[in-house]
């Protein structure tokens, strides 16, 4: 016999993303999913819900994730699995065309963290914070790559010296650096179009620096052929010279 589906909750009380009031939300649909890792026996339970605020009628998406290895402990030392809740409003900014939306294990943790926080700021239209974020990602890459330079200007140029960036790519990163400077020092928010373009450039920087070199390890190794020795050039005969 198949397992009976759990009953659909009628209401969920939470802060509405649109009216920002703590209201009851009607649950219109719910899908449950279970994913298990055969190697570690870890389990991820995920519920996807479509909910509607009973105050302002806003409709949006709610995701509840519970991971068996994530344990929260209270003040008495009692532990229980923690549930992560994410809500997505229909008016959030969509950033399509990114390769690195999901976890990419070949990217250092600190860079992944800043990337995700910056993307979340863009989705929530926090463009000033996102402008600071894209600059911080470049700083984090330079730090991880131990790029020399007393400031970010020099470090970006030295990414070219390290072979991680082309000269044309450096010009684009300098534009993102200036965009981040305006956000941090002038409190000037970039436009939505500017910050999405910057994020796509960052995406390709991380892809080329971390992801593709890792993926390429399964390809046949290439060893450049040694340079050919220069052919000896016979001295030119001088007209009228004695034989």
pLDDT of residue 18: 80
For the stretch 45-54, pLDDT in tens is 899 999 999 9
CATH top class, domain 94-216? mainly alpha
- Sequence-distant (≥ 6) Cβ neighbours of residue 101 within 8 angstroms: 119
For the stretch 166-194, pLDDT in tens is 999 999 999 999 999 999 999 899 999 99
What gap in Å lies between CA 143 and CA 26, rounded to an integer?
47
CB 167 within 8 A of CB 116: no
Which tokens sit at 95? 């950033």
- With cut-offs at 50, 70 and 90, classify the pLDDT of residue 223: confident
Q: In 14-126, where does DSSP find H-type helix?
A: 109-123
Q: Cα 104 vs. chain centroid, distance in angstroms?
A: 8
Domain edges within the chain = 9-91, 94-216
SS3 81: strand
Question: What are φ and ψ of residue 79, in 5° steps?
Answer: -115, 155
Q: What is the mean pLDDT of the chain?
A: 84
Buried b (16+ CB within 10 A) or exposed e, 147-165: beeeebeebbbbbeeeebb
For the stretch 61-99, pLDDT in tens is 899 988 887 665 555 555 566 788 888 776 678 787 787
CB 87 within 8 A of CB 60: yes
- With cut-offs at 50, 70 and 90, classify the pLDDT of residue 127: very high
pTM value > 0.85 = no
Q: Is the pLDDT score of 8 beyond 70?
A: no
Residue of 89, 80, 124, 119 lying closest to 15 (CA atoms): 89
Instruction: Give the max Cα distance, the chain.
Output: 111
Q: What percent of the chain has pLDDT over 70?
A: 83
Question: What are φ and ψ of residue 122, in 5° steps?
Answer: -65, -45
Which tokens sit at 24? 């009851």
């Amino acid at each position: 016999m198949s397992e009976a589906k759990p009953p659909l909750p009628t209401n969920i009380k939470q802060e509405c993303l649109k009216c920002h009031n703590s209201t009851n939300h009607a649950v219109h649909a719910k899908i449950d999913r279970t994913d298990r890792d055969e190697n570690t026996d870890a389990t991820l339970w995920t519920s996807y819900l479509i909910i509607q605020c009973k105050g302002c009628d806003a409709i949006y998406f709610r995701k509840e994730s519970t991971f068996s290895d994530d344990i929260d402990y209270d003040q008495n030392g009692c532990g229980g699995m923690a549930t992560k809740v994410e809500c997505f409003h229909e008016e959030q900014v969509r950033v399509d065309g990114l390769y690195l939306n999901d976890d990419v294990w070949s990217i250092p943790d600190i860079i992944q963290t800043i990337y995700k926080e910056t993307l979340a700021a863009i989705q929530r239209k926090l463009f000033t914070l996102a402008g600071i974020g894209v600059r911080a990602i470049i700083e984090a890459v330079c730090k991880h790559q131990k790029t020399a330079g007393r400031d970010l200007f020099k470090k970006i140029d030295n990414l070219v010296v390290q072979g991680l960036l082309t000269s044309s790519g450096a010009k684009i990163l300098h534009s993102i650096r200036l965009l981040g400077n305006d956000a941090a020092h002038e409190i000037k928010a970039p436009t939505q179009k500017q910050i999405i373009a910057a994020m796509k450039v960052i995406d390709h920087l991380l892809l080329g620096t971390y992801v593709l070199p890792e993926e390429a390890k399964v390809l046949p190794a290439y060893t450049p052929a040694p340079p050919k020795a220069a052919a000896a050039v016979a001295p030119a005969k001088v007209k009228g010279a004695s034989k």
